[in-house]
């Protein structure tokens, strides 16, 4: 009988004296062609359509996709010049850009149902300035939002989610414009498991990539195509053993996208943020205009945390904001530097709140969020990206560093 040689990962309860800074951690990403990400992209494309015509449009667009079908639902308040036909066409263009021209889900032939309706007046009065109990512009909903940054990567993102995103972005670029065109299809997932020593990532213990592919390709052929995109992302010395790299471990992945599984907007909130390395308030982002603090407050929280780390006041920083619907001020501001802070957390809070107005309106104006910049956020993470010249990913700027250093010393 063959001996069981599987390695047991030590857990804290196995050895109370174990150094809790040594551990294994995993994050996953999914591609723009994953059914849930197709929905996020369509919802954000509809949002951009309205913001392009009216920067103060209100949009909460939810999308469902399945075989040959796209359903759009939710609330709107915006220019009546945008018709259902325009909304349908925008959805088709999003699907085309992702790359779906397959039997069962094709941008030209899918049945697109537009069921969007006008925004509730009860919600609107809590947000509109001069109405409601708080006559200042209030939050579009109650909730808690978290932001996080750490110094594990140049993007100040947790390493496992950062590498997972980059593997899939490389594959997507090659599928659309490079060597893998016609060989792999839009639907894909990645997963990176890292070993940490003294709270620092030192190597990958395993990598998983599952990608939809053209009929007729073997598992070995797909593996050979995918491997270079893993190798170019992981830092030197991080590659796991060959046997711990799993490419299409089921052996075949031809049926994918909405044909293989239904999708919904907002079901990949951990993929969208920090891969599980930080808390999450539970609210999704895509399809929501920036009056919805689920989105805008999560973005400003990331911005503040990133600036704290970039300024050298922590190796890792978590920030939480809390809001009530219709109320303009945040109900709570929380900062945690996880024992790595070089300034008291209370002083960091005072500095941040002196520099940035954390009301919903203040957030939108500081980050200039009333622009059609959201479709590009729908895949490969809302954070850890490079700010664009037109204002996209403005929450990734580190323009508070000098002010924080001036205030905190």
The answer to whether residue 175 is catalytic is: no
Q: What is the largest CA-CA distance in the chain?
A: 78
Residue found under tokens 């500095």: 351
The answer to whether residue 268 is catalytic is: yes
Which one is catalytic: 146, 253, 383, 393?
253
Which one is catalytic: 152, 195, 294, 396?
294
Which one is catalytic: 54, 75, 97, 134?
75
Which one is catalytic: 73, 124, 262, 324?
262
The answer to whether residue 48 is catalytic is: no
- The answer to whether 145 touches 358, Cβ cutoff 8 Å, is no
d(CA 91, CA 80): 18
The answer to whether residue 84 is catalytic is: no
d(CA 161, CA 164): 5
Which one is catalytic: 28, 32, 36, 187?
36
Which one is catalytic: 288, 302, 315, 366?
288
The answer to whether residue 128 is catalytic is: no
Which one is catalytic: 28, 32, 37, 315?
37
Which one is catalytic: 25, 28, 32, 34?
34
The answer to whether residue 267 is catalytic is: yes
| Short-list 320, 329, 397, CA closest to 359 | 329
The answer to whether residue 261 is catalytic is: yes
The answer to whether residue 117 is catalytic is: no
Q: Which two tokens stand for residue 385?
A: 């990206």
d(CA 366, CA 348): 19
Which one is catalytic: 68, 97, 199, 261?
261
The answer to whether residue 294 is catalytic is: yes
Which one is catalytic: 176, 267, 329, 371?
267
**How many Cα atoms are found within 13 Å in the side-chain-facing hemisphere of 34?**
25
Which one is catalytic: 77, 107, 213, 292?
292
- The answer to whether 30 touches 38, Cβ cutoff 8 Å, is no
The answer to whether residue 162 is catalytic is: no
Which one is catalytic: 58, 175, 268, 366?
268
Which one is catalytic: 28, 44, 62, 289?
62
Catalytic residue set: 34, 36-37, 62, 75, 189, 253, 261-262, 267-268, 288, 292, 294
């Amino acid at each position: 009988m063959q001996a069981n040689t599987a390695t047991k990962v030590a857990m804290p309860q196995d050895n109370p004296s174990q150094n809790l800074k040594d551990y294994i951690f995993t994050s996953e990403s999914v591609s723009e062609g994953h059914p849930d990400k197709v929905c996020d992209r369509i919802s954000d494309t509809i949002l951009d359509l309205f913001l392009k015509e009216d920067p103060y449009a209100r949009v909460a667009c939810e999308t469902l996709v399945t075989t040959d079908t796209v359903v759009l639902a939710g609330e709107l308040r915006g220019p009546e010049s945008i018709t259902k036909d325009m909304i349908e066409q925008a959805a088709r263009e999003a699907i085309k850009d992702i790359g779906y021209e397959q039997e069962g889900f094709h941008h030209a032939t899918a049945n697109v149902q537009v069921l969007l309706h006008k925004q509730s007046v009860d919600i609107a009065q809590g947000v509109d300035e001069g109405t409601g109990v708080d006559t200042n512009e209030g939050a579009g909903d109650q909730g808690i939002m978290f932001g996080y940054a750490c110094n594990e990567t140049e993007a100040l993102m947790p390493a496992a989610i950062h590498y997972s995103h980059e593997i899939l972005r490389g594959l997507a670029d090659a599928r659309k414009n490079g060597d893998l065109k016609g060989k792999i299809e839009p639907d894909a997932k990645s997963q990176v498991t890292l070993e940490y020593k003294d709270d620092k990532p030192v190597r990958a213990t395993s990598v998983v990539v599952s990608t939809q592919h053209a009929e007729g390709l073997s598992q070995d052929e797909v593996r050979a195509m995918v491997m270079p995109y893993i190798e170019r992302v992981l830092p030197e010395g991080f590659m796991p053993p060959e046997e711990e790299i799993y490419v299409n471990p089921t052996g075949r992945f031809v049926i994918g996208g909405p044909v293989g599984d239904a999708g919904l907007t907002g079901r990949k909130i951990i993929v969208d943020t920090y891969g599980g390395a930080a808390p999450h308030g539970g609210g999704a982002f895509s399809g929501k205009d920036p009056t919805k603090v689920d989105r805008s407050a999560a973005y400003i929280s990331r911005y503040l945390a990133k600036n704290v780390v970039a300024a050298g006041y922590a190796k890792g920083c978590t920030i939480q904001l809390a809001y009530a619907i219709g109320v303009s001020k945040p109900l709570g501001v929380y900062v945690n530097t996880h024992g790595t802070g070089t300034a008291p957390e209370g002083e960091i809070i005072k500095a941040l709140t002196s520099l940035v107005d954390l009301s919903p309106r203040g957030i939108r104006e500081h980050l200039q969020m009333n622009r059609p910049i959201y479709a590009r956020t729908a895949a490969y993470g809302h954070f850890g990206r490079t700010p664009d010249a037109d204002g996209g990913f403005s929450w990734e700027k580190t323009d508070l560093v000098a002010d924080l250093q001036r205030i905190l010393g």
